[in-house]
């Protein structure tokens, strides 16, 4: 059952919140041990009691929102009041926050019940969801392979119906790669659409929270819950009225739009600049061809920016700069508890001058203007969600792709980085199954900044002609 249909069933009193909770908890008990997607769980009896309270609210005429009674496990980077939040780090393995993060507050406001936490790599660094606290999360289509990251636990839980929708977050593809590898949908909103941030809220315009679900309509509804202005987050903006007007009753119709004549630019591997595993481009390009079924005009385009220059002068320095946030956890007595990749990110920030940081942001501005020019001729840019298919979950990151050595632990995810720095609205949709193990990969449907609603409409049209989301994980 989709999130849209679950909400309708609860509000029509066809099923009680307590029955929903009991069913989900039973399914989690049977399914989760094989994949390790949900890593901290609230006591089941306490959750059933909360679900009963949601039923009583409905019986009395009180309806919090479309998520009334929804069991929700929250990404383990986001603080949850009274529920352990480790950020995948041994340094925080016993931390119990005294307040909720903004997205948790939003989901609770719409009636959700927090049941636990979903797995993530340490501090969200890396696109493979493993850590020393809980271990690795398996892929829903092959539990021996990775589910991606850093929202890998969330994506796997959604794909295996352990929750109807999920929150995630994205700096370097953390909503996009897991969605692609788990055959689900996600939305990376433009910066400011969803209240997001940590201890520094003014200059970190790269990372954002966002929704994940099995269908575009489900993702759109959770985005409506998350989106909006919050005075505590200075970069936020008022939500698109079309988004805030979405309900389970109207969302599917609202997302319908004639896409005939829409101009699609396929950028693939950026003119051969990015190595890809055999099958990635073929699988994704075949999926792009399906867009012609609803009238889209598809063209291959040449890169509009040099990717090596982008990586060296924009991505790496800004990424290191943002890793300054790791300072509280990095000291001589505790750094041995951090994984090498986290230490490398932070140590890179220690050698940067203010002039180097400023120059990187100048180059980012240059890239941004080059990116905007593409939208003079096209409505959407499309590329794969990763340069490879899911690999062994015990491998931290691939050292080579198609024979090309990776320069860093995250180089294999370079294909998502332009849209982070461009601040684009990106909806990820399944592209099908390929590679030697016939596993899932996704497409990034890249809209211009702040055009989330249009991206969702385009994704809905694509979803209608492909049906990839109907392929249920075979072993479960």
Pick the catalytic residue: 174, 205, 383, 440?
174
- Residue 476 falls inside a structural domain: no
Q: So what's the pLDDT on residue 476?
A: 66
Identify whether 356 is part of a domain. yes
> The domain containing residue 239 runs over which residues?
3-470
What is the average pLDDT across 142-154?
98
pLDDT, tens digit, for every residue of 435-472? 999 999 999 999 999 999 999 999 999 999 999 988 88
Q: Give yes or no for residue 332 having a pLDDT over 80.
A: no
41, pLDDT greater than 90: yes
Could you give the CA distance from residue 164 to residue 154 in angstroms, rounded to a whole number?
10
- Do the Cβ atoms of 31 and 158 come closer than 8 Å? no
The mean per-residue pLDDT over the stretch 335-347 comes to 92
In-domain check, residue 475: no
Q: At residue 197, does pLDDT exceed 90?
A: no
Give 48-88 pLDDT, tens digit per residue.
Answer: 999 999 999 999 999 999 999 999 999 999 999 999 999 99
Is 341 within the bounds of a domain? yes
pLDDT the model gives residue 334: 78
150 classed as catalytic = yes
Catalytic one of 127, 129, 146, 150: 150
> Residue by residue, what is the 3-state secondary structure of 9-44?
HHHCCCCCHHHHHHHHHHHHHHHHHHHCCEEEECCH
Mean pLDDT of all residues in 113-124: 98
Q: Is 256 among the residues known to form the active site? A: no
**Burial of residue 323, with CB atoms counted within 10 A of its CB: 0-12 exposed, 13-18 middle, 19 or more buried:** buried
From 54, 75, 339, 393, the catalytic residue: 75
- Alpha helix positions (H), 351-449: 354-374, 417-422
Say if residue 230 is exposed, middle or buried (CB neighbours under 10 Å; 0-12, 13-18, 19+).
middle
- Per-residue confidence (pLDDT) for residue 200, from 0 to 100: 82
- The CATH number of whichever domain residue 395 belongs to comes to 3.90.1300.10
Q: Does residue 333 or residue 165 have the better pLDDT?
A: 165
In a domain, residue 21? The reply is yes
Mean pLDDT to the nearest integer, 271-298: 98
pLDDT computed for residue 322 by the predictor: 93
Do strands 165-170 and 142-146 pair parallel, antiparallel, or not at all (unpaired)?
A: unpaired
pLDDT surpassing 70 at residue 382: yes
> What is the rounded average pLDDT of the residues 395-406?
98
Task: Report the mean per-residue pLDDT for the chain.
Answer: 97
Residue 202 has pLDDT above 90, yes or no: no
Do the domain assignments include residue 188? yes
pLDDT at 216 exceeding the cut of 90:
yes
323 falls within a domain: yes
Rounded CA separation 187/428 (Å):
6
Domain count, the chain: 1
Q: For 376, what's the count of Cα atoms within 13 Å in the CB-facing half-sphere? A: 7
- 36 contacts: CB under 8 Å, gap ≥ 6: 119, 134, 135, 136, 137, 138, 153
Of the pLDDT bands very low, low, confident and very high (cuts 50, 70, 90), residue 475 is: low
- Rounded average pLDDT over 245-259: 99
127 found inside a domain = yes
Q: What integer pLDDT is reported at residue 243 of this predicted model?
A: 99
Which residues touch 476 (CB under 8 Å, ≥6 apart)?
Answer: 31, 34, 140, 160
Q: What is the pLDDT of residues 355-377, one digit of tens each?
A: 999 999 999 999 999 999 999 99
Residue 16 is a catalytic residue: no
3-state secondary structure of 432: strand
């Amino acid at each position: 059952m989709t999130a849209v249909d679950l909400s309708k069933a609860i509000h029509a009193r066809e099923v009680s919140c307590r029955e929903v909770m009991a069913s989900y908890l039973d399914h989690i008990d049977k399914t989760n041990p094989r994949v390790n997607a949900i890593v901290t769980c609230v006591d089941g009896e306490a959750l059933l009691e909360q679900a009963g309270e949601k039923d009583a609210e409905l019986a009395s005429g009180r309806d919090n929102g479309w998520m009334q009674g929804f069991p929700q496990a929250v990404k383990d980077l986001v603080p949850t009041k009274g529920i352990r939040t480790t950020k995948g780090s041994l340094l925080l393995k016993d931390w119990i926050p005294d307040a909720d993060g903004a997205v948790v507050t939003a989901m609770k406001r719409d009636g959700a019940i927090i049941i636990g936490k979903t797995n993530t790599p340490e501090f969200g660094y890396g696109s493979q969801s493993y850590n020393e606290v809980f271990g690795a999360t398996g892929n829903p289509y092959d539990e021996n392979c990775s589910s991606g990251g850093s929202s890998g636990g969330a994506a796997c839980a959604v794909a295996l119906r352990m929750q109807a929708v999920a929150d995630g977050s994205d700096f370097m593809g953390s909503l996009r790669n897991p969605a692609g590898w788990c055959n689900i949908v996600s939305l990376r909103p433009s910066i400011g659409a969803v209240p997001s941030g940590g201890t520094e809220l003014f200059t970190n315009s790269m990372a954002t929270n966002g929704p994940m679900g099995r269908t575009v309509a489900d993702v759109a509804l959770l985005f409506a819950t998350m989106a909006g202005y919050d005075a505590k987050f200075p970069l936020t903006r008022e939500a698109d009225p079309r988004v805030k007007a979405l309900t389970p009753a109207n969302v599917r119709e609202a997302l319908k739009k004639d896409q005939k004549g829409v101009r699609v630019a396929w950028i693939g591997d950026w003119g051969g600049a990015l190595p890809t595993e055999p099958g990635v481009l073929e699988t994704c390009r075949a999926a792009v061809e399906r867009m012609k079924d609803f009238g889209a005009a598809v063209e291959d385009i040449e890169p509009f920016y040099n990717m090596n220059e982008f990586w060296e002068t924009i991505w790496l320095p800004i990424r290191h700069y943002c890793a300054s946030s790791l300072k509280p956890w990095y000291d001589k007595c505790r750094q041995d508890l951090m994984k090498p990749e986290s230490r490398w990110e932070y140590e890179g920030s220690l050698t940067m001058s203010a002039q180097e940081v400023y120059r990187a942001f100048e180059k980012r501005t240059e890239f941004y203007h080059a990116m905007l020019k593409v939208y003079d001729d096209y409505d959407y840019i499309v590329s794969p969600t990763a340069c490879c298919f899911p690999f062994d979950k015990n491998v931290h990151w691939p050292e080579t792709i198609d024979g090309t050595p990776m320069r860093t632990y995250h180089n294999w995810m370079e294909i998502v980085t332009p849209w982070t720095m461009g601040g684009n609205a990106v909806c990820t949709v399944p592209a099908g199954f390929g590679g030697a193990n016939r596993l899932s990969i996704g497409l990034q449907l890249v809209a211009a900044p702040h055009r989330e609603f249009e991206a969702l409409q385009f994704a809905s049209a694509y979803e209608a002609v492909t049906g990839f989301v109907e392929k249920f994980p075979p072993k479960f």
